[in-house]
């Protein structure tokens, strides 16, 4: 049995996002210049490729979960607080 010092720490076992192939839900607020109207948009990416866009977080999260399961990838949230990305339970 390895000694405590040779075992990986809990921090090293925590999965980190791989933005090249994981599923990312990205929040964007769009403001239309002529009217000043704002619209929330949630985009879902698989790696660098945009897969879909939604008006609600719930719809985006549901789609991201399905996509992550299908491709056996992790799903992450990139919201207004920015980095680090937050994991989405799949």
Instruction: Specify the CATH architecture of the domain 17-88.
Output: 2-Layer Sandwich (3.30)
pLDDT (0 to 100) of residue 14: 60
Residue among 54, 65, 58, 59 nearest 24 (CA): 65
Segment 56-69, tens digit of pLDDT: 999 999 999 999 99
| Whole-number Å distance between alpha carbons of 61 and 43 | 10
What is the token pair recorded at 41? 């948009």
pTM across the whole model: 0.78
Q: If you count them, how many residues does the chain have? A: 90
pLDDT bracket for residue 87 (50, 70, 90):
very high
- The pLDDT tens digits of the residues spanning 2-49 come to 445 454 444 445 689 999 999 999 999 988 888 889 989 999 999 999
Residue ranges covered by each domain of the chain:
17-88
């Amino acid at each position: 049995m390895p000694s405590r010092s040779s075992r990986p720490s809990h921090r090293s076992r925590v999965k980190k996002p791989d933005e090249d192939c994981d599923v990312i839900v990205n929040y964007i607020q769009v403001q239309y210049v002529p009217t000043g109207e704002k619209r929330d948009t949630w985009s879902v990416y698989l790696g660098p490729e945009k897969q879909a866009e939604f008006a609600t977080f719930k719809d985006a999260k549901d789609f991201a979960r399905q996509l992550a399961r299908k491709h056996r990838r992790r799903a992450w949230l990139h919201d207004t607080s920015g980095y680090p990305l937050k994991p989405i339970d799949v």
